[in-house]
Amino acid sequence: MSSFGVSFNPMKIHNRMKVFVCTDHDNRWPTGCASVVVAKDEADATELLDVGLTKRGLKPSSEEPYTLIEIDTDMRGAYILHDGEY
């Protein structure tokens, strides 16, 4: 137990969430789109993004395939998802 009264569980390290971005899913306007998903893995990210898209009346990956890119959260970086250029 730590000095803060919290026990450390090394297995928790393996349960870290991952960050995925997508800039090619279905969208309303021809200027593009950008979404960020925090999930256990790529399958979980696809499921979460599909739910979000469907709630907004947009097509899920089964109807309009898209690409998920995992962001390496162990490295510092800035990712420009969409700069307005189309």
pLDDT in tens, 27-72: 998 878 999 999 999 999 999 999 999 999 999 999 999 999 999 9
- Specify the amino acid at residue 60: P
| Length of the chain counted residue by residue | 86
Give the confidence band of 13 by pLDDT, cuts at 50, 70, 90: low
Question: What token pair was written down for 14?
Answer: 């393996």
Which regions of 1-86 does DSSP assign to beta strands (E)? 18-22, 35-39, 69-71
- Specify the amino acid at residue 33: C
Report pLDDT for 11. 55
State which H helix or E strand residue 53 sits in: helix 42-55
- What is the distance between the alpha carbons of residues 9 and 37, in angstroms, rounded to a whole number? 25
